[in-house]
Structure 1
Amino acid sequence: MYKFLDLKNKSLLKLKFILFVSFLLYFLSTNLIYSHSIPKDEDYLIPMGNLIQIDAELENLVVKNFIEGSSFCVGDSILKVNGTQVNSYKDFTDLLSNLSTKDDVVVLVKRGENTFSFKTTKNELEKVNCNNYISGFATLTYINPKTNRFGAVGHPISIGLARKVPIKNGNIYTTKDLTIDKSCRGHVGCINAVRKDVIGEFTHNSDFGIKGEIATFKDSLLKPYKVASLDDVKLGKAQIILQTGSYTKDAFDIQIVDIQLQHSPKAKTFKIKVVDKDLLALTGGIVQGMSGAPIVQGDKIIGAVSHAIENNPALGYAVYIKWMNEN
């Protein structure tokens, strides 16, 4: 009797074990099948192409003019005058008014990555055109629909030798009433416009442009594009998206004529050629203000216009979109 119960219990335990293992194998195999069938989370951005005005307050006072025979260079940040810190243009003019024309003046400047002092005079300082404000036009590259962050320009905001000027605070604005000075061989033209509504703010200024937060923009009806891998980018046909009027944007044909296989973030990832007859008639090629214009190829956003080539403005360079988005 006891032996029979023992055998029965053993058989029952064995059956339970077999059922458990079978269920476990089924569960694991089913999950493995489904895990392969679910696509990985991919990045999407909305390519924009809107001409924007960029207004920014800089962290330091920056020299903006060349002075013959002077120790100052365009792009120098003036940090101190005779040991007193300079935080604004008013600070600078107040200090300047109290200086003697007979005495040397010691100025602390930052040039690129280097900070150093040199002696100058009141007369020389009076010739310096400097302020802590910058304004210009560029193109809005993308909006991230998940984070509401934007990227624009495609290259750093720079002044002279100051490749990436530190931004204290900045705003971007929509524009209207565009006017275009066409590019031609030996001359890079530009786009000008009238500032309209503020739509975002930023402080981030990198080698690949500016990034910030969109405060208000009607992007819900705009199509997100998948962010291309560098391997996705092919030689041949692509399109740039660009604002051409107060309320119009168009896609224009270009050719990708060269691709640099960059393994780390660098500028000038692609060489591009404008081939669209309508765009060539409108702008003559690439113009200032077009920097940041998004480039799409098929259903993917691949980059943004970053540089023009002066002796042939139909040619230019573009930066890979991930370098903009991730740096």
Structure 2
Amino acid sequence: MKIKTKARRTAAAVAAAVMGLMGAVGFYDKALPDSYNIAGGEELTLNTFLGISSRPARKCYTTALTDISGRSSHSGESTLLLFGSVPVKNVTAVSEPRPMLVPCGEAFGIKLLTDGVIVVELTKVGGSCPARECGIRKGDIIISMNGENIRSNRDVSEAVRTCRENGCEVRLKRGGKDMTLTLMPTYCEGSYKAGMWVRDSSAGIGTLTFYDADTGAFGGLGHPVCDSDTKEILPLSEGAVGDIEITGLVPSAEGCPGQLVGEFSGDEVLGEITLNCREGLFGTLQNCPDDKEALPLGYKQEIVRGAAQIYSSLDGENPVAYDVEIEHIDLSESAEHDMVVHITDPRLLKETGGIVQGMSGSPVIQNGRLVGAVTHVFIDDPTRGYGIFAEDMAEKAKVS
């Protein structure tokens, strides 16, 4: 009887272990990305709670690639292994020379002109709203009116004045789709009106994340510039990097994020912004913003929970290194945010209360590598905020 009981317990323990193992395999299958960049000559390894290693897939095909900057790489297939032996899934591994980027941390001025204009409000004129009645909605991006490209508020006013009661053909974008509508303006208070407010530009303060000395490319902010009313990403027509003078700082407190306060110190253009996207702002600078040495790029699978530093400038002068902790890392491709960063440096906590608006883009350094950038502050706990992988930003800088 005792032997049978022991056998049952052993069988139950084995079954539980197998179920746990399969559960771990299923979790990592969904949680881990299907592709990785690795430094040339190195093997793919992941810093996960349970050890994940890799080996070349049985049917491994290697492809030589060259990006637009002339860097060569090789793409092949690898099998991820749990505990060094249990297959999780096959992934693509791209082997390339590890990029060297100058970590920045300087505040920079942002000037953007939109590609078209964004409808930010609809209002009644003379008892009705012509724009709403013809199908225009808040958040729409107006590209042209009566065949003429629209670039400013003045362009909209002129198009409405010209077409009058004859109607105006409006071409716009909504959710990435093109639409064409016919707007019939209303004559009210001595002029023809459409009943809509539009925005054609934006300006603000952010932080530079990195500079590529070989190409002049930069990445900054770590998140897109969005319209303050519609919350949609501003469609970029052209943009410029301007010199900014920090004039003050409002510290963060629980429930109230602070901000850097500044103003453009002149009309001098320091660089060109060519891309506004989910990963931030990208373009080219005329010169390297400071004399710091370039650091190797850290790939997402190399980041670990623990001590790190950020570079940030709170007074417009040279950036200062502050201690932080990386508390959470999400490698999944569906992740809304890549990292959680906790400010631990008493100097920064005393001066700012944690993260303030304007620090977005502050580079995160760990183990001598550029691994990410600060992007958002937690409203209920400004000592913590979200971050983005530097690797994702560097990929966008290649094509900006």
With normalisation by structure 1, the TM-score equals 0.77
The one-letter amino acid of 1:48's match is: C
Higher strand share: 2
Residues 216, 287 of structure 2: 8 Å contact kept: no
Aligned to 2:154: 90
Identity of aligned residues (%): 25
- Secondary structure at 2:309 match in 1: strand
1:230 aligns with 2:300: yes
Greater mean deviation of Cα atoms: 78-87 or 169-178: 78-87
Distance 1:217 1:185, change over 3 A: same
Aligned to 2:276: 205
Shift of 1:98: 4.3
Root-mean-square deviation (CA, aligned residues, Å) is 3.0
Distance 1:310 1:111, change over 3 A: farther
Shift of 1:226: 1.1
Shift of 1:195: 1.6
1:48 aligns with 2:104: yes
The one-letter amino acid of 1:317's match is: Y
CA distance in 1, matches of 2:169, 2:286: 43
Aligned to 1:144: 212
1:79 aligns with 2:143: yes
Residues 45, 143 of structure 1: 8 Å contact kept: yes
Shift of 1:299: 0.7
For 1:60, which of 116, 121, 140 is the aligned residue? 116
Distance 1:190 1:296, change over 3 A: same
CA distance in 2, matches of 1:67, 1:280: 44
- Aligned residue runs from structure 1 range 88-127, under 5 A: 88-98=152-162, 100=164, 107-117=170-180, 121-122=185-186, 127=195
Provide structure 1 residue ranges, at least 5 long, that are not aligned to the other structure. Answer: 1-34
Shift of 1:83: 6.2
CA distance in 2, matches of 1:282, 1:125: 49
CA distance in 2, matches of 1:64, 1:135: 16
Distance 1:223 1:109, change over 3 A: same
Distance 1:248 1:73, change over 3 A: farther
Shift of 1:180: 1.6
Distance 1:285 1:127, change over 3 A: farther
CA distance in 2, matches of 1:276, 1:237: 11
CA distance in 2, matches of 1:190, 1:74: 28
- Secondary structure at 1:313 match in 2: strand
Aligned to 2:349: 280
Shift of 1:203: 1.4
The one-letter amino acid of 1:305's match is: V
The one-letter amino acid of 2:102's match is: I
Distance 1:285 1:81, change over 3 A: same
Aligned to 2:286: 215
Shift of 1:104: 7.2
CA distance in 1, matches of 2:322, 2:139: 35
Aligned to 2:329: 259
Shift of 1:292: 0.8
CA distance in 2, matches of 1:125, 1:313: 44
Per-residue deviation, residues 262-290 of structure 1 (Å, max 9, x unmatched): 3x586511111122222222222222211
Distance 1:80 1:218, change over 3 A: closer
Residues 178, 244 of structure 1: 8 Å contact kept: no
For 1:129, which of 166, 177, 197 is the aligned residue? 197
The one-letter amino acid of 2:389's match is: Y
Residues 208, 267 of structure 1: 8 Å contact kept: no
Shift of 1:295: 0.6
Provide structure 2 residue ranges, at least 5 long, that are not aligned to the other structure. Answer: 1-39, 42-95
Residues 49, 140 of structure 1: 8 Å contact kept: yes
Aligned to 1:157: 225
Residues 156, 207 of structure 1: 8 Å contact kept: yes
Shift of 1:50: 0.6
The one-letter amino acid of 1:296's match is: I
The one-letter amino acid of 1:295's match is: V
CA distance in 1, matches of 2:180, 2:217: 39
Residues 150, 214 of structure 1: 8 Å contact kept: yes
With normalisation by structure 2, the TM-score equals 0.64
Distance 1:126 1:147, change over 3 A: same
Distance 1:112 1:307, change over 3 A: farther
Residues 179, 192 of structure 1: 8 Å contact kept: yes
For 1:297, which of 366, 370, 373 is the aligned residue? 366
Aligned to 2:337: 268
Greater mean deviation of Cα atoms: 292-301 or 162-171: 162-171
Structure possessing the higher relative contact order (Cα contacts under 8 Å, 6 or more residues apart): 1
Shift of 1:116: 3.1
How many residues end up aligned between the 2 structures? 288
Per-residue deviation, residues 10-33 of structure 1 (Å, max 9, x unmatched): xxxxxxxxxxxxxxxxxxxxxxxx
